[in-house]
Amino acid sequence: MAQSILIVDDDPTQRRILESVIGSLGYRTVVASDGREALELLRSPRGAEIDLMLLDLMMPGLNGMAVIDELRPEKPNLPIIVLTSHGSVATVVQSMQAGANDFIVKPASPERLKVSIQNALKLRTLAGEVSRLSRKADNRLRFSDLIAKSLVMRQTIMLAERAAQSNIPILIEGESGVGKEVMARAIQGASDRAGKPFVAVNCGAIPENLVESTLFGHEKGSFTGASTKRDGKFQEASGGTLFLDEVGELPLSMQVKLLRAIQEGEVDPVGSTKPVKVDIRLISATNRNLQQLVGEGKFREDLFYRLNVFPLTLPPIRERREDIPELIQYFVQKFAAEEGKTLRGVESSAIDMLVNYKWPGNVRQLENAVYRAVVLSDREVLTLHDFPQIVGLASGGDAYGRGAPERGADGEGLYVGKSLDGFSVLDDDGHIRPLEEVEGDMIRLAMEKYNNHMSEIARRLRIGRSTLYRKVRDLGFDNPDAETDDAA
């Protein structure tokens, strides 16, 4: 998905030249013939799609400097590269002070344009990420920081916005990796507790014998190892928001104490003789069916109803596929900037494959897959070859079905299944087959797929044709077209 660049120049010849050069660099182009047209476009719904503006300074009517003056208060983060045939020091200083990111004297060489555009886009990405991280650190994350173009995600955010305006307890349900904590932070950032403490607790990661101390705190000497007094998570979150992630993992013995703390607004630290008042906004999250756990006697019914006052379900990524291209673009820009890469985006075939993959690990798995691709890629555009694990899984037609991998915590892992496009990588005892045998099956598959066109097969397998002919002979394959392939 290519980034969009707005070209603003009153000279039609210059516009065509810039369109051609920038298009050859892999970017999409939008043109405006004067400053007024550029401002109208940027203020329209299409303006949200513009990633950078190339702006001619000397234009009739509204000139480039006037455009910058009007635009900067409205779009402070839009990169602007100024173009002019008058490269005086005074002009450069004036345009940079007005808010331009770079200055290029006409005629601009393709290489100069390329470097300037890449630097400006990278700076914008880093500035945006720093701003987002600052809001997260200050507990002021916004709903606008979430990517939500799909209808189901927009509806979820509308509900979350309404819940944020009150102190109602919220239960966020959803599969692992859908972004439950991010949603909880956005709810806090939209509430009157924005900027106050946000304390996240993973209830499934606390040893059972430490749950009470972790949540409610303890007094010095209250148990072996309690060498100092310690406030619990409830006290740390007082005045702000307490986020209990994976609340369904809490042991039954702690559920009754949690219920009392929520109902009474006070906690009893271990070893203390008197309760401590707390003022928290409670948001819980789970990837399990709490109602089912209630039926199985593994979760208290009274606690369930106390937590489930305002249920909010986050959809898995396979149900919000419209968001995947923008999520991919965001992760590519973020990680490319962090890793010092000059990536422009992802080719359409790879986007299509990623959109149609089932993503059992949800947004977390997608983020990890893009991160790995960015780190390993040496191209300016990510291709299918940069996502070998996802391609291998997607080729089976089902992320959970034939040839499914063993997955780690992020939903990914090395391919260890039995079937890969029609041949086995494991023997009958479950062990890896010899490389020579697997190589033979791969060559046979390639010969079938490319109809014995040996030049194409050699190119796809990245081996020389003479090497391919030798392997075909050694393997004893019947290949009547091998000798006449290049004439085909």
Residues 422 and 358 in one domain: yes
Whose tokens are 């007082």? That residue is 238
Around Cβ 392, how many Cβ atoms within 10 Å?
16
- Degrees to nearest 5, angle at CA 227 with 223 and 228: 110
- Do 93 and 27 share a domain, yes or no? yes
The number of domains in the chain is: 3
In the chain, the N- to C-terminal Cα span, in Å, equals 35
- What was the pLDDT predicted at 478? 60
Whether 75 has a pLDDT exceeding 90, the answer reads: no
Residue 461 is assigned to a structural domain of this protein: yes
For 294-335, write each residue's pLDDT tens digit.
999 999 999 999 999 999 999 999 999 999 999 998 999 889
Contact between 52 and 6 (Cβ < 8 Å): yes
289-295 contact pairs (CB < 8 A, 24+): 290/171, 290/173, 290/247, 290/248, 293/248
Whether residue 487 lies inside any domain: the answer is no
Same domain for 23 and 153, yes or no, is no
Whether the per-residue pLDDT at 480 is higher than 70: the answer is: no
How far is it, in rounded angstroms, from Cα 27 to Cα 49?
Answer: 12
Packing angle of the helix pair 324-339, 348-356 (nearest 10 deg)? 120
Alpha-carbon gap, residue 228 to 233, rounded angstroms: 16
Q: Exposed/middle/buried for 226, CB within 10 Å: 0-12, 13-18, 19+? A: middle
Cα three-residue angle 129-146-165, rounded to 5 degrees: 120
Based on the domain organization, do 220 and 173 belong to the same domain? yes
| 326 and 258 co-located in one domain | no
Q: For the segment 45-67, what is each residue's pLDDT rounded down to a tens digit?
A: 888 889 999 999 888 888 888 99
CA distance 73 to 215: 45
Q: Which pair of structure tokens corresponds to residue 205? A: 């990661």
486 part of a folded domain: no
Residues 331, 370 contacting (CB under 8 angstroms): yes
Same domain, 207 and 263: yes
Q: List, for residues 140-166, the tens digit of each pLDDT value.
A: 899 999 999 899 999 999 999 999 999
State the pTM of this model: 0.67
Centroid of chain to Cα 230: 36
pLDDT digits (tens, 9 = 90+) for 331-353: 998 898 888 887 878 888 899 99
**Percent of the chain having pLDDT more than 70?**
89
Same domain, 149 and 272: yes
More confident residue, 221 or 395: 221
What CATH number is given to the structural domain containing 215? 3.40.50.300
The single residue listed with the structure tokens 């393997």 is: 475
Task: Find residue 4's DSSP bridge partners.
Answer: 28, 50
Supply the DSSP string of 9-34, one letter for each residue: -S-HHHHHHHHHHHHHTT-EEEEESS
Question: For position 429, what pLDDT does the model report?
Answer: 59
Closest-CA residue to 390 (of 419, 370, 363): 370
214 and 110 together in one domain:
no
Q: Residue 423 pLDDT > 90, yes or no?
A: no
CATH assignment of the domain containing 71 = 3.40.50.2300
Structure tokens at 333: 């820009």
Structure tokens at 386: 């940069």
Q: Are residues 391 and 446 in the same domain?
A: yes
- Does 116 fall in a domain? yes
Task: Please count the other Cβ atoms lying within 10 Å of the Cβ belonging to residue 18.
Answer: 23
Question: Is 481 domain-assigned?
Answer: no
Where residue 463 falls among pLDDT bands split at 50, 70, 90? confident
The domain boundary, picked from 263, 286, 315, lies at 315
Predicted confidence band at 427 (pLDDT cuts at 50, 70, 90)?
low
Quote the domain boundaries for residue 229. 143-315
Co-location of 163 and 308 in the same domain: yes
Residue 484 lies in a domain: no
Distance CA 6, CA 17 (A): 14
Q: Which residue, of 106, 134, 162, is where some domain finishes? A: 134
Chosen domain end from 93, 113, 134: 134
Clarify whether residues 78 and 57 are in a common domain: yes
pLDDT tens by residue, 81-139? 998 877 677 777 888 888 888 888 888 888 899 989 988 888 887 777 777 778 888 88
Residues 128 and 189 in one domain: no
Count the neighbouring beta carbons within 10 Å of the beta carbon of residue 191. 18
Is there a domain that residue 365 lies in?
A: yes
